[in-house]
Chains A and B, each alone.
Chain A
Amino acid sequence: MAATVGVAGSAMTRFGRQPDRGVAGSAMTRFGRQPDRGVADLAIDAARAAMADAGIAAEDVDALYLGTFLGRSLQGQGVLASVVAQRLGLGPVATTVVEGACASGGIALRHGMLACRAGAADVVLCVGVDRMTNASSGEITQGLAEAFEAGVDRELGLTFPGFFGLVASAHTARFGTSRDQLSAVSVKNRDHGSGNPDALFSTPVELAAVNEARPIADPLRLLDCSAIADGAAAAVVVRDRAAAPRPDRCVSLLACEQGSGPAAAAAVEDLCSFGATTVAMRAACRAAQIKPADVDVVELHDCFTIAEIIDSEDLAILPHGEAAAAIEAGATRLGGEAATVNPSGGLLSRGHPVGATGLAQVHELVAQLRGEARNQVPGTRVALAHNLGGSGATASVTVLAA
């Protein structure tokens, strides 16, 4: 047999300036009930606004990644990325739909970053969208339940409020998390979301109202839960920030990392932590060369009040087991002693058109880093977005910097 000669490994330092990837522009539609806009219409509205914000023309876009979870099951629309690209006039560019349940938008951004990092594209349009309010509650529940592994939880009647009810039950048993502490998350985020013109709910709520709201899945009540909505958000990712049409408005995309985990309740090893988040956070900190303490502002996945408590711990924004008390004490409010969490109002205010949420988070953070946010956190230099899918089946963590 002839010997095969190969190179098993090699290394060298790179020569020249490394491109600084960036988010050149972002936008979102209003989240809420939009009966006159189809799912493609919503995506196009957000995409056009993001391209205008970036100063990017249709012919500049090399690829489109579109995150949606319910585009097929509720709207009956496959190849949505191609539909959107054609209607935007992007030409025959590569188009891809990505799906990671409620983290679909964050994952779309990650794929845009990867394409730029690989040198396969200079400009990528990343869009997240879902349209939900035209469907019945049964159809929506069934569609969302597809984020559970088939053959186990769905058949027993587990819903996502039910899953996070189990999570809250476990967290309460381990850490003594109180009803008031859960409610404090909702009060904070609804306060941050007050006056947000893009949010489904733009009015504050009192603690007593959250405590006494209609029970949904013990111990969670109605105001512990984010609401379904129609909406889209978009971001333009560029390979080289310096080459963007408006470099002064382009923020650095330092990292966009991803983790995964179980899609069945019984397979979740620890209901008080989502492994997908911790894996993505560690990878993001490594890639961005930051520590959690460096983060000034966070948009995290508060699909339920208990999720914000656990996310804050998994992201190491607050100490493990102490987040509920710290949030109740105001640590993550605007002006609090820790990083500000969900200055937009989060999912609890904005609503949750699931595929759009991850990019709506990025839109808020771009505004924060430009110093143009409605609830501006003074001196923001480093911003972090966290997008969770399903029962922790997937998660993305994005680090942006001024």
Chain B
Amino acid sequence: MSTAAGGSAVVIAATAIRAAPEGFEPGYVLVLLEAEDGARRLARLDVEEPPAPGTTVAI
């Protein structure tokens, strides 16, 4: 993941941006994460394909 804070979070939703706006390289993956305390945030993952919702990822 592009930011490291420790712990884990569950993927609520994920997408790969194949047609990127100016200033971004296409193909980046955005995920909506829910941490163990219920806090949600959007993040970029350094992966090729978006993970399935329900997947647990380290943060």
Q: Is A245 an interface residue (CB 8 A)?
A: no
Cα A172 to Cα B44 with chains together (Å): 21
Indicate if A390 sits at the interface (CB-CB under 8 A). Answer: no
Q: Is there contact, CB below 8 Å, between A216 and B53?
A: no
List B contacts of A217 (CB < 8 A): 15-19
Q: Can you name the residue of chain A whose Cβ is closest to the Cβ of B53?
A: A173
Residue picked from A165, A167, A169, A267, most chain B C-beta under 10 Å = A169
Question: Chain A contacts of B43 at CB under 8 A?
Answer: 156
| Contacting pair A170 B13 (CB below 8 A) | yes
**Whole-angstrom CA separation of A57 from B43 in the bound complex:** 54
B23: shortest Cβ distance to chain A, in Å?
A: 7
**Cβ contact within 8 Å between A156 and B30:** yes
Given the known inter-chain contacts A169-B53, A173-B13, please indicate yes or no for A138 contacting B22, CB distance below 8 A.
yes
Option from A138, A156, A215, A219 in Cβ contact (under 8 Å) with B42? A156
- Whole-angstrom CA separation of A206 from B21 in the bound complex: 28
Q: A152-B42, A166-B13, A170-B53 are in contact. Are A157 and B18 (CB under 8 A)?
A: no
Contacts of A202 in B (CB 8 A): none
Give the residues in chain A near B18, CB-CB below 8 Å: 214-218
Contact present for B30 and A162 (CB under 8 Å) = yes
Least distance between B34 CB and chain A CB atoms (Å)? 9
CB atoms of B21 and A138 under 8 A apart: yes
A137, B42: Cβ atoms closer than 8 Å: no
Q: Which residues of A contact B21 (CB under 8 A)?
A: 137-138, 141-142, 145, 157, 159
Known: A156-B44, A173-B52. A265 touches B17 (CB 8 A): no
A153 CB within 8 Å of chain B: yes
0 or 1 for each of B26-50: is its CB under 8 Å from A? (1 = yes): 0010101000000011111000001
Q: Main secondary structure on chain B at its contact with chain A? A: strand
Q: Which residues of A contact B54 (CB under 8 A)?
A: 173
Which residue of A is nearest B52, CB measured? A173
Q: Which of B1-21 contact A (CB under 8 A)?
A: 12-21
How far in angstroms is the closest Cβ of chain A from B49? 8
CB-nearest residue of chain B relative to A157? B24
A271, CB-defined interface residue at 8 Å = yes
B19, A266: Cβ atoms closer than 8 Å:
no
Closest to B29 in A: A218
| Given A153-B42, A156-B30, A218-B50, A166 and B24 contact (CB-CB distance below 8 Å) | no
Q: Of B22, B28, B30, B52, which is within 8 A of A166 by CB?
A: B30
Cβ of A106 within 8 Å of any chain B Cβ, yes or no, is no
The answer to whether A353 has its CB under 8 Å from any CB of chain B is no
User: Which residues of the other chain, A, contact B28 by a CB distance below 8 angstroms?
Assistant: 157
Among B16, B17, B20, B42, chain A packs the most CB atoms within 10 A around the CB of: B42
B19 touches A265 (CB 8 A): no
Q: Which listed residue (A145, A152, A162) contacts B15, Cβ 8 A?
A: A162
Interface flag for A161 (CB, 8 Å): yes
Assess the A170–B12 pair: CB atoms within 8 A.
yes
Does A283 reach chain B (CB closer than 8 Å)?
A: no
Contact between chains at A167 and B13 (CB < 8 Å): yes
Contact call B15/A137, Cβ cutoff below 8 A: no
Cα of A159 to Cα of B30 in the assembled complex, Å? 10
A-B contact pairs, 5 of them (CB 8 A): A157-B23, A157-B28, A162-B15, A173-B52, A266-B40
Show the binding face of A for B, using Cβ within 8 Å.
Answer: 136-138, 141-142, 145, 152-153, 156-159, 161-162, 165-170, 172-173, 214-220, 264-267, 271
Interface residues of B (CB under 8 A from A): 12-24, 28, 30, 32, 40-44, 50, 52-54
